[in-house]
Structure 1
Amino acid sequence: MGVLRKWMPTSAAQVRYIFTYWTTPAPESPWIINKKNVAESQTQQNLNPQIESAINNITSSEFMAYYFYEQMAWYFNRDSVALPGFHAYFQSRADDLMKLARKFMEYQNKRGGRIILGDIPAYPKQDGWTPLEAMDKSIFVEHGIKQHLLKQNELAESLKDSQFSGFLSNFLNEQVIDLKEMTDHVTQLKRVGPGIGEYLYDKDSIMKESYFDKINRDNY
């Protein structure tokens, strides 16, 4: 618990925001309450209802994280902030989360499940981020995603759904890599300090990484 304390949000509202979509089951759609109105899937492959719900919850959490990173990216793009490296970094992360959400929706359809998504509110803090604070909150979000994936992996193993467990393992490995990268950025941002140090880090470190090329490759 002590290790995670520095990544905790700064308000109760932020705590509620981050954990809501990792602890609350996806709402049932009003269009499928009456099962007679839903055509039976021809591809359903031994999909336990708990796994179907887990896939929807993960998808919603990925969209929630996407929304968080998208908001962060465009904050650093403001003319009053003007840190293009951090803009590109968080935009790249947002794009990755959108792709992950789509992969889970594709997987849901392949297993013959039904995609049901929940509402996604805006993150409570809209502006005023420092690069260090943004990275700290990103680490907290990524830890939340990782713990949620681990929880759903335990569910898959308890239900002997090796296909879903194997599918999740790829994303868990990616989480380890992402967290290491973010913690490295936090360490270096603390080293250079605020103000001119953050500007130089944005210019000399973040912008030299492949985020710009990745965004251009993904979007054009």
Structure 2
Amino acid sequence: MFLRAPITPTLFNGPTVNEGFNRSLFSSPDTTSFSTVCAAVKGGSSNHRPLTGVVFEPFEEVKKELNLVPSVYHQSLARQKYADQSEASINEQINVEYNVSYVYHAMYAYFDRDNVALKGLAKFFKESSEEEREHAEKFMEYQNKRGGKVKLQSIIMPLSEFDHEEKGDALYSMELALSLEKLTNEKLLNLHEVANKNNDVQLADFVESEFLGEQVEAIKKISEYVSQLRRVGKGHGVWHFDQMLLN
């Protein structure tokens, strides 16, 4: 009689079933991607790494500003980092714009006379006067926006006669307009310098975006008008120039 030997488990060179199951759960088919993810988690991704480590706490940081809110009725609530020098310079610029507007308005009245009757020049100087007044109002609105106080100053009485024996009224008035535009540009540059001196980037941006570029264009246009009037002289050519402005 033959005795049957007991069956013993056969050992394989590869992993057992349980080992294979565990490995399938915790290992990625793409070992390279898995290593990259582990490194990112361990070292921190550059896109998600905090820049400073400082946590913004609004309720703590706002306490400083809250204490600065005025409780007195006559003080502005909107004012923030707006220097007294900037406020005063804005009021000065308002006065400049109104004075220039007043001179242009006087020129409009002169050329609109029945014995002068240059309607194109009258139209040009009336529009110029309105534009300068709009500039003054822009500065007034900005003054209120920043929490300053608008303080209007006196306006000088302009000339009422603009005829010139040598140049004639048209050329003389246009040269005067060119000088006024250059003077206004200089005042605007001074205001911009005040803004930079007080680190007021908002005021500097306001002057740059609303006025400086436009001022250069106005100087160029009036310079061309002066050149054209110098060519035509005081005679019949002034009438043709006036018609160009009118139409």
TM-score category, normalised to shorter length: 0.7 to 0.9
Verify the 8 A CA contact 2:188 2:212 in the aligned structure 1.
yes
Gaps of 5+ in 1: 1-36, 209-220
Structure 1 residues 169-208: Cα deviation after superposition (integer angstroms, max 9, x where no partner): 12011110000000000001111111211011111x1112
In the alignment, which residue of structure 2 is the partner of 1:27?
A: none
Aligned residues: 170
The higher relative CO (CA closer than 8 Å, separation ≥ 6) is in 1
Moved more, 82-91 or 152-161: 152-161
1:135 aligns with 2:174: yes
Identity of matched residues, %: 34
Work out which of the residue numbers 149, 158, 179 in structure 1 matches 2:219. Answer: 179
TM-score (norm 1): 0.75
Superposition misfits of 4+ residues, deviation over 3 angstroms: none
TM-score (norm 2): 0.67
1:152 aligns with 2:187: no
Work out which of the residue numbers 221, 224, 228 in structure 2 matches 1:188. Answer: 228
CA distance in 1 between counterparts of 2:76 and 2:88 reads: 16
Change (3 A) 1:128 1:144: closer
CA distance in 1 between counterparts of 2:74 and 2:151 reads: 15
In the alignment, which residue of structure 1 is the partner of 2:48?
A: none
Over the aligned positions, Cα root-mean-square deviation in angstroms equals 1.2
Larger radius of gyration: 2
Change (3 A) 1:145 1:128: closer
In the alignment, which residue of structure 2 is the partner of 1:167?
A: 206
1:169 alignment partner AA: E
- DSSP-derived class of the 1:42 partner: coil
2:160 alignment partner AA: Q
Verify the 8 A CA contact 2:104 2:126 in the aligned structure 1.
yes
